Structure 1
Amino acid sequence: MADLSYHEQQKQKNTLRLRELLSQLPPFAYEFFRGIEPVTSPKTRIGYAYDLRIFFEYILEIHPTLKNKSINELCLKDLEEITPDHIEMFLEYVTYYKKPHPQNPHKIIEYQNDERGKARKLAAIRTFYTYFHKKRKINGNPSSLVEMPKIHEKNIIRLEIDEVAKLLDEIESGEKLTATQKRYHNYTKARDLALITVLLGTGIRVSECVGLDIKDIDFDVNGLKITRKGGNEMVIYFGEEVEKALQNYLAERNKKQPKPGHEDALFLSLQNQRISVRSVQNLVKKYASLVTTIKKISPHKLRSTYGTNLYQETGDIYLVADVLGHKDVNTTRKHYAQIDDQRRRSAARAVKLRKL
């Protein structure tokens, strides 16, 4: 795998993970996943597989005529035994449930799902049933009769302009870090500053950020070549602050000796290998906690910060959708609708009928 690019390695890992999950699903599930392969991303298929596994495990526990079967014994006709009531019971069940740990049966793991988690699971079940119903391999689609959970829109959690400045200052100074954290800060300061500046200054996803190679930077045009979800390549442009942070980091990065297979990676861990998504999540959480204690800031919230700032500056929802890589502009419009609402409220306050 050393000769493969990061994205090719991820594709191989996802392929192997999906195969493992398919072995835990009814045999006819293979046809479904083969059928949706051209129109879905690997992560979407893996998400469907997880949700369908939980669904079938539940059905085999509670269904009066199916509970004597194993998951490998289920056939397509058994889908017709499942009613809308069973699916609604499943959605209620996943609100909170417990399962033994896969590697340690003596350890119990607790799971919870809000309306978004339930909606994702119902979407997986609907897609599954719809596929076989369209192929006329089953009669009826009970999942279409189950109401999608109502999603309560949440306010965008993001950093304000002064909080962004404080965050970058904290990364540079490291003054508020613990004694243990300060020991590593000198080794990681330039990297951390460049990484978080890139996230704040381009709005790219954390997965796109960790996948960056040195050759993906073009300082002639100040552009980053990234690989979007689904594998499409795109160039995202950055400003002077991102350029300066990257140049400073590269001066250190070029002196390091990466481990075999990680020579091209832009952002390296302390172990001199490509930094992981989890590590980036942890370092964002570490620095953000020094700036705000009431907001849970993640890499995705830095993306929201960029999107909000770009929309406030340009008012161009199509530009924001394009730069953030949203396939549907309605997704973007829905997400940033509250900014328009704030503008309308400020308009109401701006008009005075009587001067006091």
Structure 2
Amino acid sequence: MPSRNPTYHEQRETSYTLQLRQLLTELPPYARDYFRAAEQKTSAKTRVSYAYDLLVFFRFLIEKNPELSSKGINGITLGDIDLLASSDIEEYQEYLKYYEAENGEQKNGASSIARKMSSLRSFLDYFYKKEMLAKNVAMQVDMPKLHEKAIIRLEPDEVAIMLDNIENYENRLTGKKKDFFLKTKIRDIAIITLFLGTGIRVSECVGLDITDINFRENSIRIIRKGGNESILYFGAEVEKALLDYIEGPRAMVAMKAVAGEENALFFSLQKKRISVHAVENLVEKYAKEFVPHKKITPHKLRSTFGTNLYQEIGDIYLVADVLGHSDVGTTKKHYAAIKDQNRRKAALAIKLREN
């Protein structure tokens, strides 16, 4: 019986697992206990992010602490960490704003610093609860204050402008640029329409196989963050865009696809599964051309969908479910700005004098 090719998600899981193994060789030996425990409640990708964050912390320790520099990262013990004071963690927060790393200078804003601090808190808390540390010194330091940013999304007229212009973009191009666009036009329209019509994440979009599409129910099967399977449904516009692509250019590419990639829904020009980076680039390319006053990414298209859905149904819990948010608070935070529009409607509804 021939062996089955690993799925996109299985390949990614393997890749992250191998990355984590390599990173663990650079961290102190006891870090393995923490990551072994974290495996039960985090994805491999998340654990890799934690490992990178912790490496920054340990590099800070040996760079700024003369007593630890001679030990190297692998030689730093939990006893050494127990000797740290809150002032050391405050210095670490300051260090995170700008530092030299192996791949060049690194700058972090408040949200990135908060994420690295959260990783450190979680790491130290594990050993504190195991009574292997006398205290979690990271908990003695306040987290950076995060300022809420306005949600960037497309307004309904901008959605129409973007899609209409992509459909007719070849009329503005000549030569090689026109030829290149025509090779990807139908695929690109399908991808952008899928984002706007389902709120799918870019990683979920890239991971789609042709077998995940069900036109009888107009649904797609996706693997959410954390590995959970979910079903999303789509309307007539998404259905048409997908069928145009699947029955058109995809059918031709799939016959010549790279071995092991045949089941991918979206292909690159190299006849391989399209990458996250490529999808990000194509969305940003069209947005820059047709809605230049806004920096639009796949995530912003997801926000556009979430906003439109909430405005249509007014059910924040359903929006959270469709978007795959495990905590409805996340959804409320992201789409709270919609209240401004409702406030404007409320203001207009009040008549102080009859005309």
Alignment match of 1:134 (pick from 100, 123, 129): 129
What does residue 350 of structure 2 align with?
A: 351
Equivalent runs, 1:220-239 vs 2, <5 Å: 220-239=216-235
Aligned equivalents of 1:173, 1:331: Cα separation in 2: 37
Pick closer, same or farther for the CA change 1:98–1:177 going to 2, 3 Å.
farther
What does residue 146 of structure 1 align with?
A: 141
What does residue 330 of structure 2 align with?
A: 331
Matched, 1:279 2:278: yes
Cα contact 1:27–1:75 (8 A) shared by 2: no
Alignment match of 2:180 (pick from 164, 184, 190): 184
Cα contact 2:221–2:229 (8 A) shared by 1: yes
Q: Would you say how many aligned residue pairs link Structure 1 and Structure 2?
A: 349
Cα contact 2:201–2:299 (8 A) shared by 1: yes
Alignment match of 1:195 (pick from 163, 180, 191): 191
Matched, 1:322 2:321: yes
SS in 2 for 1:149: coil
Following superposition, the deviation at residue 24 of structure 1 comes to: 1.4
What does residue 124 of structure 1 align with?
A: 119
What does residue 22 of structure 1 align with?
A: 24
What does residue 106 of structure 1 align with?
A: none
Alignment match of 1:62 (pick from 45, 61, 64): 64
- Superposed CA deviations along residues 106-162 of structure 1, whole A, max 9, x for unmatched, are xxx221111100110110000001000000111111111110111111111001111
Following superposition, the deviation at residue 81 of structure 1 comes to: 1.9
Pick closer, same or farther for the CA change 1:25–1:181 going to 2, 3 Å.
farther
Matched, 1:255 2:257: no
Aligned equivalents of 2:90, 2:174: Cα separation in 1: 49
User: Is 247-256 or 269-278 further displaced after alignment?
Assistant: 247-256
Aligned equivalents of 2:174, 2:77: Cα separation in 1: 58
Equivalent runs, 1:205-224 vs 2, <5 Å: 205-224=201-220
Paired AA for residue 24 in structure 2: L
Matched, 1:162 2:157: yes
What does residue 42 of structure 2 align with?
A: 40
Aligned equivalents of 2:198, 2:60: Cα separation in 1: 43
- Superposed CA deviations along residues 3-51 of structure 1, whole A, max 9, x for unmatched, are 1011100100010011111111111111110111101111211111111
Following superposition, the deviation at residue 173 of structure 1 comes to: 1.5
Aligned equivalents of 1:231, 1:180: Cα separation in 2: 41
Aligned equivalents of 1:258, 1:221: Cα separation in 2: 27
TM-score by length of 2: 0.95
Aligned equivalents of 1:341, 1:159: Cα separation in 2: 16
**What do you get for the CA RMSD once the two structures are aligned?**
1.5
- Percentage identity across aligned positions? 54
SS in 2 for 1:229: coil
What does residue 301 of structure 1 align with?
A: 300
Aligned equivalents of 1:22, 1:100: Cα separation in 2: 17
- Superposed CA deviations along residues 285-341 of structure 1, whole A, max 9, x for unmatched, are 111111122211100000000000000111100010000000000110111111123
User: Is 41-50 or 119-128 further displaced after alignment?
Assistant: 41-50
Aligned equivalents of 1:159, 1:250: Cα separation in 2: 27
Paired AA for residue 116 in structure 2: K
Paired AA for residue 312 in structure 1: Q
- Superposed CA deviations along residues 248-293 of structure 1, whole A, max 9, x for unmatched, are 0011211222110100000000000000000000000111111122
Cα contact 1:170–1:290 (8 A) shared by 2: no
Cα contact 1:159–1:305 (8 A) shared by 2: yes
What does residue 341 of structure 2 align with?
A: 342
SS in 2 for 1:166: helix
Cα contact 1:27–1:74 (8 A) shared by 2: no
Paired AA for residue 261 in structure 2: H
Pick closer, same or farther for the CA change 1:177–1:30 going to 2, 3 Å.
farther
